[in-house]
Structure formats: structure tokens, C-alpha cells
Amino acid sequence: MVQITPYLALAAILFSLGLYGVLTKRNIIIVLVSVELMLNAANINLVAFARLGLNPSINGQVFALFSLVIAACEVAVGLALLISLYRHRATSDVKEINLLKW
């Protein structure tokens, strides 16, 4: 019988690494990758509980699929904003692009 504990531990480690990347890194691309890492940790939890939970069903897998679609849209919008900001400011540093006016 497979236990759910290794999956939850992996998800906790991935989420912690993503949170560390979001809070400490200054490059916006690293921040976007860290957010994706956090979303994938949540997807691991959803699939693990859907498969190994008390009432196994496909609901968690469906939510994980929707989360992946939303994450792909978020990356596309984030990269478009990054390219626009880089053209105007010539930097990808988070501390340098905190103003909303050009």
C-alpha cells in the first residue's frame, strides 16, 4: 500500500523552494519560475489526495488540470509584461520596476 506522506513531503519541499525564490530573488524571471514551482506543489497535493485520500475520485485531478491551464496563461501574461517592462526600463530587476508610470 502506497502512503500519501512522501507526496506531501515532496510538495512541501517544492512549495518551500518556490516561496524562498519569490521572497529572496530579484530577477523577475526567477520569481515567475518560483511561482510555477509553488503551483506545481499544490497540483501534487491535489493529485495525491484525489488518488490516495479517504474518498478517491477524479475531482482533484480535474482541479490540477485547470490549475495547469491557469498557470500557462499566467506565464504568458507575465512574460508579455516582462518584455514590455524590459523594453521601457532595460532591466529585469524587481526593485527597479516597482513604479507604474513610465
Cell (9 digits) for 98? 516597482
- Greater confidence (91 vs 75) lies with 75
Residue 102 has pLDDT above 60, yes or no: no
- Greater confidence (39 vs 82) lies with 39
Closest Cα partner for 18 from 1, 4, 32? 32
Closest Cα partner for 44 from 9, 72, 18, 16? 9
Q: Where are the domains of the chain?
A: 5-89
| Tens of pLDDT, residues 18-76 | 999 999 988 888 888 999 999 999 999 999 999 887 788 888 889 999 999 998 998 89
Residue with cell 493529485: 47
Identify the helix (H) or strand (E) that includes residue 24. Answer: helix 5-24
**CATH of the domain spanning 5-89, picked from 3.40.1160.10, 1.10.287.3510, 2.60.120.10, 3.40.50.2000:** 1.10.287.3510
pTM of the model: 0.80
